[in-house]
Chain A
């Protein structure tokens, strides 16, 4: 089981878009790009770090279930209806375009990966971040998970689900015990699921383990990182998300004080 130390967190919700979309830096950006950037920016702003330390060597791992589906839809619609292929829509349609945008905005030159595995995408990004830190390819890693709504498809994917359908979350993580070495204050520990698949479908939703032990089904937000980051922001020093409610000791994502 891999364990990480959370140095800071940030979340971004659709309500943030109204002001951010007008910013010149985001003129060519998609909703996913803006949401993800905002979540990371907030995490970095809350990263309390000694200014005398050397610069952090940062990696970036991004998990997205649908990637830039909305932009892909816009590109294909323009092509089908007007016979026009629009370059900006194409370059923004790739899953990796979000990570590319983030790397440019944040000047990340270390390893940057985009991973996608349905509702496990964010956790795959966390597991990858742990590996990048363990192999010293970076001191710390920006782990982001993002998905944005595609208005025409809301009815198709979530006709009866209320709650968060889009958003982004970021966890800045490093290896346990490394916080002081990278000039940061110690944070909460995050235990990753013990296994990666166990044969269960990554399309299954996540369940939040309530204080009573009850399993609360998460809304289809595709983003367990959102739950973790949001809970930590609201002062919850511990919590657990479970991937498979049929296995009591199944895969879970746990955060707590060390």
Chain B
């Protein structure tokens, strides 16, 4: 793929629509404005989607669907797609699907507190794939579909997979989304691993506090055909790798993450110095930040020639399996507006990480942005998102 990509300037996959539901509000615009203006949706260490964001059209009483449907419909509307056609693809990413519906019912059933008849409708949602089935039904989708569940790299992998579907001709258009709902499993799970922040989330800081979990959904519409819209954003490169190192900690030198980013650059036909901004995974956990910084340093070098590096999780939190699409939506808007975002709350950058941090939201010439992701199980994925020359210089 890399040699062909180099000849054509990377993958020809166009992003034509975005949609989001997050703890900062309903809509991709709310997400963008919050990341631009430092309005965090995190409270008491968690980011919960506002109650009014819940979709009234669904009959499922499923938070995952209630987040996913408005985000998906917003992306479709933004792309000018009235509906999904039979040949369109749908790729969903999630780590826990509809677990918030069934986790308490499951335990009640096992402990004999509720009957089989009582819990049957709820436990139908036990398989992760039931979320995709339900979403397909709501969107009247009958085309190619799958659900990716590669931990926190899931949504970035889903976007990369969609690019492969499009490039291979499997589909001409693809709706890609990530969905995550806060639940007992993840909140108590991350807490027992001592990964949750007790104070504000501050990635790449000397006083890292840890992760702040969040929930939400974000979708993007991708297509092969260059859209009519002026100066669209392109998904130009994808990369995937695995650490093969540890179940919950990344490789300490970030070897796998570096490999995924290098592969994304190669598939985009770019050299490291052509990347203007790395939108980092930046969870705020000690191990993630150190590994990611090491990977970025190895690939891009350090100092003034290195790209800017920042993370937006202090605003919208860590949405786990949905983080890749949620943060890709932020990157798309940043490219459209030619605005570089800082890591809000980063008052004391860790000097050992040797990253080049923007200190404020600022206008910048952004041609190529790399979105990086790391996940449990050593899953790594990276994307390159690119603006056209005219857009970059139009804002300069």
Contact = CB atoms under 8 A, between A and B. Distances in A.
A253 interface: no
Interface string B236-256: 000011111111100000001
A108 B244 contact: yes
B144 A195 contact: yes
B168 A116 contact: no
A94 B95 contact: yes
A143 to B, nearest CB: 14
A96 B150 contact: yes
A131 B164 contact: yes
Contact of A91 (B123, B193, B245): B193
Contacts, number: 195
B145 A197 contact: yes
B149 to A, nearest CB: 4
B305 interface: no
Nearest to B90: A197
A137 B145 contact: no
Nearest to A75: B185
Contacts of A112: 150, 240, 242, 377-379
B303 interface: no
Interface string B121-160: 0010011111011001000011111111111001001000
A203 B137 CA distance: 13
Contacts of B99: 72
A65 B127 contact: yes
A235 interface: no
Given A80-B107, A101-B247, A197-B144, A109 B242 contact: yes
A201 interface: yes
A199 B142 contact: yes
A99 B167 contact: no
Contacts of A101: 247, 377
Contact of B143 (A117, A121, A127, A197): A197
B185 A97 contact: no
Interface string A146-163: 000000110110000000
B147 A115 contact: yes
A99 B142 contact: no
Interface in A39-67: 60, 65-67
Contact of B256 (A76, A91, A109, A135): A109
A198 interface: yes
Contacts of B263: 137
A194 to B, nearest CB: 11
Contacts of B109: 156
Nearest to A79: B188
Interface in A110-155: 110-118, 120-121, 124, 127-128, 131-132, 134-137, 152-153, 155
Interface string B255-278: 010010001000000000000000
Q: For A66, A112, A132, A198, which residue has the most chain B Cβ atoms within 10 angstroms? A: A112
A96 B127 contact: no
Contacts of A110: 240-242
A85 B379 CA distance: 24
B241 to A, nearest CB: 6
A107 B242 CA distance: 9
Contacts of B244: 103-104, 106-109
A91 B146 contact: no
B7 interface: no
B176 to A, nearest CB: 14
B248 to A, nearest CB: 5
Contacts of B192: 85-87, 90
Interface string A71-84: 01101110111000
A100 B161 contact: no
Given A69-B126, A100-B247, A202-B129, A196 B240 contact: no
A26 to B, nearest CB: 13
A75 B128 CA distance: 17
A65 B127 CA distance: 6
B32 interface: no
Given A85-B191, A90-B193, A100-B247, A109 B241 contact: yes
Contacts of A243: none
Nearest to B91: A115
A239 to B, nearest CB: 24
Given A112-B242, A128-B161, A137-B1, A90 B149 contact: no
9 contacts: A91-B376, A96-B151, A103-B242, A109-B241, A112-B240, A115-B149, A117-B146, A135-B164, A152-B110
Given A85-B192, A106-B244, A203-B127, 17 more contacts: A72-B185, A79-B184, A90-B193, A95-B149, A96-B149, A100-B376, A103-B244, A104-B244, A116-B127, A116-B129, A117-B132, A117-B146, A134-B168, A156-B120, A156-B123, A196-B143, A196-B144
